[in-house]
């Protein structure tokens, strides 16, 4: 092979080939980052939804504990009336 031919080929690879390869790799990396970002957004949405569900469940449990504390600290007929009222509420 001619030295001039090798020089032109080498020059072409440096001037054209490397930037093209870097461009393809850069584009692939951008796509990968966008995919990862979308995955994180979806995970964030699911986490926020679960957090809201847990908060609502915790609130219901706290309300039940308050009622139980009130029942335990009351005495006599008030306790029986409260239990009956709670049963009626559950049925309705």
- Transcribe the chain into DSSP letters: --HHHHHHHHHHIIIIIHHHHHHHHHHHHHHHHHHHHHHHHHHHHHHHHHHHHHHHHHHHHHHHHHHHHHHHH--THHHHHHHHHHHHHHH-
Enclosing domain of residue 29? 3-91
CA distance 41 to 36: 9
Is the confidence at residue 40, as pLDDT, over 70? Answer: yes
pLDDT of residue 75: 65
- Per the model's pLDDT, the better-predicted residue between 65 and 13 turns out to be 65
CA distance 33 to 81: 62
CB-based contact 79:71 (threshold 8 Å): yes
Percent of the chain residues past pLDDT 70, beyond the cut: 89
Please tell me the total count of domains within the chain: 1
Compute the average pLDDT of residues 13-39. 92
pLDDT-derived band at 33, boundaries 50, 70, 90: very high
């Amino acid at each position: 092979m001619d030295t001039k031919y090798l020089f032109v080929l080498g020059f072409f690879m440096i001037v054209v080939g490397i930037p093209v390869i870097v461009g393809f790799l850069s584009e692939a990396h951008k796509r990968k980052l966008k995919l990862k970002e979308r995955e994180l957004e979806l995970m964030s949405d699911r986490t926020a939804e679960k957090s809201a569900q847990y908060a609502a469940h915790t609130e219901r449990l706290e309300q039940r504990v308050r009622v139980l504390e009130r029942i335990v600290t009351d005495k006599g007929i008030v306790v029986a009336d409260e239990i009956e009222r709670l049963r009626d509420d559950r049925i309705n």
